[in-house]
Amino acid sequence: MTDRELIRAAFAVRERAYTPYSHFKVGAALLSKSGRVFAGCNIENAAFSPTICAERAALAAAVSAGEREFDAIAIVGSMEGRVNTLPTSPCGVCRQALFEFGGPELRVILARSEEDYQCLALGDLLPLGFGPANLAR
């Protein structure tokens, strides 16, 4: 799967986001090492803390389907009806959740469009991340 195809999947699921409070829609498409794509969108809640980010929604769908290893995630976000001037980066909680399954090598694609995107390693976004290796006996 190409980066653009993964970005396209993230844009498609972003349209399903439930954002009655922030009006900031986010879509994420997670590519497993087996080649499957799992999409997720953000789901807000009036109590705010139960809100689910798009990245963790995609991760939950993938893990629930039995996937545990991932190559890349594309993330897109913007206010309703607008194009962001800045890329949408995963929050700290999502970075940690992705680190658990992707480690520092996971490719994170931050896209404003299919043509305008940057690709980073998760380790660049979460240096010295805490993961399974930290608990090895």
Give catalytic residue positions.
55
Please say whether the dihedral angle defined by the alpha carbons of residues 110, 48, 52 and 79, taken in this order, is positive or negative.
negative
DSSP 62-122: HHHTT---EEEEEEEEEETT---SSPPPPPHHHHHHHHHHHTTT-EEEEESSSSSEEEEEH
Among residues 110, 94, 7, 99, the alpha carbon closest in space to that of 51 is found at 94
Report the run of H or E that residue 41 belongs to, with start and end: strand 37-41
* Lookup result for tokens 């800045």: 86
